[in-house]
Structure 1
């Protein structure tokens, strides 16, 4: 497995600092936080960003993310964003775009959720295909997220049945949302775009800000990694945190700790 660093972990740092710190820490791959990329592009342009990755020999794995791709007001707005990011991904050599399902304000039956998700993933797949870019559908383990378990996310991806559409598994959402390791065992490892790794101090009423470094919480990460190896997954694993305690520390210090913590599971 290859180790990646997600820019959400150091949200207050810019893209340049993320790249420099990730490389210094020992990471091979980086997940680009979308707002950091767009900020740098406004000032410096695509070629400067491209040279940043080339200089540090750090492969950009994903752009995070297009949020609320389902159950939103403007479909055209989401498709336009997909095209914009896929174009950038092709220019920068990024493998894929992270897609996040929408949140619900009330009860919606599973069939409606499936149909809406499949419809949007199909449309975005057609766009991404023009640029040779992959899409990763990331379920969120929060109760009000339309797709909050791996079983439903995998069912949707299978029904989409597009070569460039896969699934993203995040340990926070996996365990907090009640997904099971036996469900992970049923996933085709070739359809996992990336695995987000983090730990949690609790499994109830979880918020993104509760995430802590791997092995600093109570999640059974060892069993999770055993299962990944059992199904033959050998792709990217990425540290992704949304914890202000880490945001307020020097970016390179956080990246170094993240690399050491993640490497311990390798």
Structure 2
């Protein structure tokens, strides 16, 4: 063996020893494949699911907690009714603390993206009030759907982007982030690609999208579009299912069913959106008239059980 070969061999041996030593000095968690350290999902109840029973804000929170939910999405009209009838922020916070429930998101319908300038100005003022209110109960997100702009003519996506940026700026002041929401039955913002464009083009670090299994089907989006959204853009996802015998153009909100009771590719969707860095809030959102005729606690318990069965081993 010549001197050059011997030197090479010695160098490789030293490198091997060094690498081995480094591995031995690493903690066990670093030596194995990335190990799951926490849950992939938080289970939330969107109050749409028991809205038909007309329980009111207090009983909705109590029902969710008794069913086993620690996260909820509230509807702003119900919360405002509670406040107008003598409820208070102090009482609401005490209830949420006592029940161990966090308000993850709020459902409202401010017309932030309409072409009518006067309506849009009113909507911005409305959103500002709503965000301020939500911040006081620890809620850091609000849905921003295409309310008031579901019909034709189409609004240019760049114009919608500017309008979304304006409400994101409101969110910076209040600490409550508006999530641009896709509605499959709308002419505007019916596709994954459209809400993705709005969020990305806004150029805002807090931009988020709010997607829904039902609306992906209703709006005709390909599931292959979902990975392009990016895990950081999805913090809340509306989960539900739909039957096999209704075409997208015919299906409507009351046709939604419990997760696992229909044909939606939910396991595939959840596998795509799950984020190794933080749990995604999956929120049960259905508007099923037959569920509204049942005991709300039974509905909430059934929904949670089906969500947990769906996410087992994910």
Q: Same fold (TM over 0.5)?
A: yes
Larger gyration radius, structure 1 or structure 2 = 2
- After TM superposition, the score normalised by the length of structure 2 is 0.79
Q: Which residue does the alignment assign to 1:220?
A: 265
**1:54 and 2:94 matched:** no
Distance 1:203 1:221, change over 3 A: farther
Change (3 A) 1:183 1:233: farther
User: How far, CA to CA, are the matches of 1:230 and 1:203 in structure 2?
Assistant: 31
- Distance in 2 (CA, whole Å) between partners of 1:243 and 1:126 is 36
Give the TM-score, by structure 1 length.
Answer: 0.92
Residue 241 of structure 2 corresponds to residue 199 of structure 1: yes
Match of 1:105 in 2: 151
Structure 2 counterpart of 1:133: 176
Residues 1:158 and 2:200 are matched in the alignment: yes
Stretches of structure 2 lacking an aligned partner (at least 5 in a row): 1-40
Mark the runs of 5 or more structure 1 residues left unpaired by the alignment: none
Matches of 2:216 and 2:120, distance apart in 1: 28
SS at 2:72 equivalent:
strand
SS at match of 1:186: helix
Identify which range, 70-79 or 222-231, moves more after superposition. Answer: 222-231
Q: Give CA deviations for 1:47-94 in whole Å, capped at 9, x if unaligned.
A: 111111111110110110234432253111110111011101110000
User: Which of 1 and 2 has higher RCO (CA within 8 Å, sep 6+)?
Assistant: 1
For 1:230 and 1:29, locate their aligned partners in 2 and report how far apart those are by CA, in whole Å. Answer: 18
Q: Distance in 1 between matches of 2:112 and 2:291?
A: 28
Q: Offset at 1:37? A: 0.6
Q: For residues 239 and 39 of structure 1, what CA distance do their matches in structure 2 show?
A: 23
Contact 1:65–1:98, Cα closer than 8 Å, also in 2: yes
Aligned residues: 262
Q: Is the 8 A contact 1:66 1:81 kept in 2?
A: no
Instruction: Tell me the distance in 2 between the aligned counterparts of 1:57 and 1:265.
Output: 24
Say whether the 8 Å CA contact 1:30–1:59 is kept in structure 2.
Answer: yes
Which has the higher mean CA deviation after the structures are superposed, 15-24 or 219-228? 219-228
- List structure 1 runs of 4+ shifted beyond 6 angstroms: 230-233
